[in-house]
Amino acid sequence: MISRSSRPEQALNARTKRPTDSDSPAEAHGSASPTTASAATSPDRVSRPPDTSDPTGATGSSSPTTASAASSPASPGNSAGATAASTAASPTPTPASTSTNPLANVLSWFAAQPPAAGSAVMATGIVSIGLRQVGAQVLSVVALVLAVLLWLALADDFGRRLVWQRGRWVSEAQTPPALTAVAATTVLGVRFTLAGWLAVAVGLLVVAAVLWPLLLWAVVRRLRPHMPGAVFLICVATQGLVALGAALAVALPARWLLGPALVLFVFGLVLYVDALAHFDFGAVRSGAGDHWVAGGALAISALANAKLTEAEGGSGGLHSTLRVTALVLLALAWVWYAVLAASEIRWPRLRYDVRRWATIFPMGMTGAATDEVAKASGWTWLTTPGHVLVWIAAAAWLVVFAGLLREAAKTTSQSGASQSGTSQPHPPT
pLDDT bracket for residue 113 (50, 70, 90): confident
Cα–Cα distance list, 251 to 182, 255, 257, 307 (Å): 21, 10, 11, 11
Domains of the chain: 107-414 (1.50.10.150)
Would you state the pLDDT for residue 222? 95
Average pLDDT, the chain: 80
- By CB atoms closer than 10 A (0-12, 13-18, 19+), residue 306 is buried
Q: Is the predicted pLDDT of residue 141 greater than 90, yes or no?
A: yes
Instruction: State the pTM of this model.
Output: 0.74
The residue among 105, 114, 125 whose CA lies nearest residue 187 is 125
CA–CA gap between residue 412 and residue 395 (Å, rounded): 26
Q: Which residue has the higher pLDDT, 98 or 169?
A: 169
pLDDT of residue 150: 93
pLDDT for residue 231 is more than 70: yes
| Backbone angles phi and psi of 243, in degrees to 5 | -60, -45
Q: How confident is the model at residue 40 (pLDDT cuts 50, 70, 90)?
A: very low
**Cα separation of 245 and 250, whole Å?**
9
Whether the bond between 253 and the residue before it is cis, its omega within 30 degrees of 0, is yes
Cα–Cα distances in angstroms (integers) from residue 132 to residues 248, 390, 414, in the given order: 18, 10, 39
DSSP code at position 95: P
Nearest CA-CA partner of 182 in 218, 234, 128, 145: 234
pLDDT (tens digit, 9 = 90+) per residue, 335-384? 999 999 999 999 999 999 999 999 999 999 999 999 999 999 999 999 99
Read off the pLDDT of residues 260-316 as tens digits, 9 standing for 90 and up: 999 999 999 999 999 999 999 999 999 999 999 999 999 999 999 999 999 988 778
pLDDT of residue 417: 61
- The whole-number average pLDDT for the span 166-171 is 90
| β-bridge partners, 227 | 279
